[in-house]
Structure 1
Amino acid sequence: MPRFAANLSMMYNEHAFLDRFAAAAQDGFDAVEYLFPYEHSAAEIKARLDGASLTQVLFNAPPGDWAGGERGIASLPGREDEFRRSFDTALDYARVLGNRRIHVMAGLVVSDAARPAQRELYVKHLEYAARTAGADGIDVLIEPINTRDMPGYLLNRQDDAQAICAEVGALNLRVQFDCYHCQIVEGDLAVKLKRDVARIGHIQVAGVPERHEPDSGELNYPWLFALIDELGYDGWIGCEYRPRAGTSAGLGWIRQWVAPRG
Structure 2
Amino acid sequence: MPNFSANIIYLFNEIDLIDRISAAAAVGFRAVECQRPYEIPPAVFRNLLDAHGMELALINTPVHPSWPHASGIATYPDRTSAFREIASSAIEYATSVGCPRLHVVAGKLDNNVNPMAAEETFLNNIVWAADKGRSLGVKILIEPLNANDNPEYFLTTAAQANALLTRANHDNLFLQYDLYHAGMNGENVIDGARTYLHIIDHMQMAGVPERNEPDTGTVNMLAAFDAIDVLGYKGWIGAEYRPSRSTAESFTWGNPYGIGPRAPSS
Same fold (TM over 0.5): yes
Q: How does 1:193-232 map to 2 (within 5 A)?
A: 193-232=193-232
2:162 and 2:137 map into 1 onto residues whose CA distance is: 21
**CA distance in 2 between partners of 1:219 and 1:82 (Å):** 39
Taking only aligned residues, the RMSD between alpha carbons, in angstroms, comes to: 1.5
How far apart in 1 are the matches of 2:209 and 2:70?
A: 24
SS of 2:257's equivalent?
coil
CA–CA distance in structure 2, aligned partners of residues 253 and 191 of structure 1: 22
How many angstroms does 1:112 deviate by? Answer: 8.2
Provide the residue aligned with 2:27 in structure 1.
27
Aligned partner of 2:59: which letter?
A: F
**Which residue in 1 is equivalent to 2:101?**
101
Alignment of 1:1-262 (within 5 A): 1-65=1-65, 68-69=68-69, 71-111=71-111, 114-259=114-259, 260=261
Change (3 A) 1:210 1:69: closer
Rounded Cα–Cα distance in structure 1 between residues aligned with 2:66 and 2:238:
21
Count residues with an aligned counterpart. Answer: 262
Using the alignment, how far apart are the partners of 1:121 and 1:186 within structure 2? Answer: 28
User: In structure 1, the residue corresponding to 2:78 is in which secondary structure?
Assistant: coil
Residue segments in structure 1 that go unaligned for 5+ positions in a row: none
User: Bigger CA drift: 186-195 or 99-108?
Assistant: 186-195
Say whether the 8 Å CA contact 1:74–1:106 is kept in structure 2: yes
Q: Distance in 2 between matches of 1:67 and 1:126?
A: 20
Matches of 1:107 and 1:177, distance apart in 2:
17
Contact in 2 for aligned 1:157/1:186 (Cα 8 Å): no
Task: Tell whether the 8 Å contact from 2:157 to 2:185 is kept in structure 1 after alignment.
Answer: yes
Sequence identity, in percent? 37
Aligned counterparts of 1:69 and 1:29: Cα–Cα separation in 2:
28
- Deviation of 1:111 after TM superposition, in Å, equals 2.6
TM superposition shift of 1:77: 2.1
| Runs of 5+ unmatched residues, structure 2 | none
For residues 119 and 112 of structure 2, what CA distance do their matches in structure 1 show? Answer: 11
Note the C-alpha offset of 1:85: 0.9
Q: Is residue 134–residue 172 contact of structure 2 (8 Å, CA) maintained in 1?
A: yes
Please say which of residues 164-173 and 110-119 is displaced more in the overlay.
Answer: 110-119
Check the 8 A contact 1:10/1:241 in 2, yes or no: yes
